[in-house]
Every structure is written in C-alpha cells, then in structure tokens.
C-alpha cells in the first residue's frame, strides 16, 4: 500500500469481558477488538490477514475491511492493526509463478502471482507506486485489463494477498475531494478571527473574544502586511451589529475605490454607443447624380 495506513490499538485479551460488558456473549470467534470498536476475525484464505465484522462492538453497522497486524519490537502479540482496504476488494493468491508462452513454444514460468479471481500479476508489470497491473492469461499471453492490485504484506515483508485499487482517475478524484488541512485560526489581542472580506487590497475581519467586555470587533488590514496587522477596531456587544459593520466597511472601501478609478474600456465603449444613438440635427440625404 502506498498511502499512509490508518492504525488502531488492540484491546487487551484479558479486558474483553470488561470492555464489552453484556455484549461479550454476542461476539463468538472474535480474535481481536480494536480501540475504535472494530471486531476482527482470522481469514482462512490468507493467514496473516484479518477481516472486520459488518458491525462494531456497539452493534453499529460497519463496512467490512481488511487489516494486518503491527508488532512492536519482539512482542509476540500485535500492538495495533493497520487498515489495508475493503473486504470486497480482497484477492487471495493461488500460485506464486505465472505460466507464459505455449507448450513447446518458449513456455516458461515468470515471477508473479495468480489470483483466485483468475487474474495474473507479473513482477515486471508494476506502476510507480509498486502496485501490480492485472492481466488476463490467455494462451500463454498477458493481456492488460486496466485493473490494479496493491500487495498486502505480513509485518511489512512477505506478500500474502492483494487488494484491488480504484482506477487512477478515481483515485485522483478522491484525492481532489479530500479537504485541505485547516489553517490555524488567527488571533489578535485575544480575539479569534471568524470572518474575512476582501475589498480590493484591503481586508476587513470580524473577531470574537467571549471574555472581553465587548466580545465582537471588526478591523481592517492592508494587503502586504502581517496576518494580524489590524487597525481601526470597531467594538460591539453582539454579533449581528459587528456583522453589519463588517459588510458596511467593506462596501464603503469598494465604493471609494470605484469613485477614483477612470472608466473601464467597456464603460467607454458603452458611452460611445449611447452617444451615437442620441438624436442630432436633421441632415438631408445627398441627392443622387442624374
């Protein structure tokens, strides 16, 4: 897996009953319980991989996923588990070599894997992230399918199974949807900045400090200064008054800027067009030559 894996600590065995309470009798066969309430079961088709139940310890619905153990040092029991993918995308390994070529015509065994879904993975067919490009083996040939599988490794080493990855375009779309990390809130004189309005090179902000006598304030800041180089504070007792002042100050700034600007090219063209359409003195049409 090339993305950072989510990890959760394991609930100690001797605290299962205490941890679950009355629910203890309703989770037979559970191998591990994670701190987030996930129930893990051993996978017969891939020793070393664990699958989660379709519900948590509280009974809440959960989508089954795949997990691998994480060990600290020489400990025999895992300290946590890492999530590696969705259970429905799991693919077990049925063979560790791939037959290529026809019998008697350069038939050979290539390094790779045969999956339980019939697809084959070659060591020579991998992407820049280390994932395997799946192919369909037909008459000793490797035909690309466009599907990609990431290896599941035991304790970071031996490959013990695979999990299918979404197409590259879908992965890019999902990454684009991911929210950007939030920037730390700006604080000035104990007031946390809640809102900001840009007015053509001048920023107006609204801040709040619940402990202040007047808990709301609006300030102005000129672009190019520091993030909290605020001036001209207007203080208020309630949010609505501060909000009206914020918008009013920004609008006033824009009006002042517009008054000092020369007319735009579009405005000049519009005025010229209007001037052409204004009624003028009557001019008789020139007589035609006879």
Q: Give whichever of 183-187, 199-203, 257-261, 271-275 has the largest mean pLDDT.
A: 199-203
Q: pLDDT tens digits, residue range 124-172?
A: 899 988 899 998 876 667 788 889 999 998 876 889 999 999 876 555 5
Q: Residue 217 pLDDT more than 80?
A: yes
Residues 111 and 76 in one domain: no
> Which of 166, 199, 231 represents a domain boundary (last residue)?
166
Q: Is the pTM of this model over 0.85?
A: no
Residues 100 and 76 in one domain: no
Binned at pLDDT 50, 70 and 90, residue 277 comes out as very low
Number of structural domains in the chain: 3
Task: Classify residue 181: in a domain, yes or no.
Answer: no
Residues 144 and 194 in one domain: no
* Mean of per-residue pLDDT scores for the chain: 80
Domain that holds residue 242: 187-259
pLDDT score for 176: 60
- Which residue has tokens 């920037």? 183
Count how many residues are written for the chain: 290
Task: Classify residue 74: in a domain, yes or no.
Answer: yes
> Which of 73, 89, 105 represents a domain boundary (last residue)?
89
Residues 201 and 158 in one domain: no
pLDDT score for 281: 45
Residues 102 and 83 in one domain: no
Please give the residue that has the higher pLDDT: either 43 or 278.
43
Q: pLDDT tens digits, residue range 33-81?
A: 888 888 899 998 888 899 999 888 777 888 999 999 988 876 778 888 9
């Amino acid at each position: 897996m090339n993305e950072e894996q989510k990890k959760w600590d394991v609930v100690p065995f001797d605290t299962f009953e205490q941890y679950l309470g009355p629910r203890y009798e309703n989770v037979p066969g559970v191998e591990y319980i994670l701190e987030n309430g996930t129930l893990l079961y051993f996978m017969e088709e891939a020793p070393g991989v664990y699958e989660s139940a379709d519900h948590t310890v509280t009974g809440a619905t959960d989508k089954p996923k795949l997990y691998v153990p994480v060990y600290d040092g020489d400990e025999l029991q895992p300290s946590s588990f890492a999530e590696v993918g969705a259970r429905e995308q799991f693919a077990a390994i049925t063979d560790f070599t791939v037959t290529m070529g026809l019998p008697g015509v350069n038939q050979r065994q290539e390094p790779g894997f045969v999956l339980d879904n019939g697809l084959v993975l070659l060591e020579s067919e991998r992407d820049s992230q280390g994932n395997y490009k799946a192919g369909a083996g037909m008459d000793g040939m490797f035909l690309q399918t466009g599907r990609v599988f990431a290896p599941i490794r035991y304790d970071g080493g031996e490959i013990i199974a695979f999990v299918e990855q979404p197409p590259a375009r879908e992965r890019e779309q999902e990454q684009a949807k991911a929210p950007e990390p939030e920037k730390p809130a700006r604080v000035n004189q104990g007031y946390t900045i809640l809102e900001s309005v840009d007015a053509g090179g001048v920023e107006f902000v609204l801040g709040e400090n619940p402990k202040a006598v007047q808990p709301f304030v609006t300030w102005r800041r000129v672009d190019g200064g520091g993030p909290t180089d605020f001036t001209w504070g207007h203080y208020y007792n309630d949010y609505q008054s501060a909000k009206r002042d914020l918008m009013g100050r920004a609008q006033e700034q824009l009006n002042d800027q517009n008054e000092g600007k020369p007319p735009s090219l579009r405005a000049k063209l519009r005025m010229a067009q209007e001037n052409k359409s204004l009624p003028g003195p009557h001019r008789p049409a020139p007589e035609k030559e006879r």
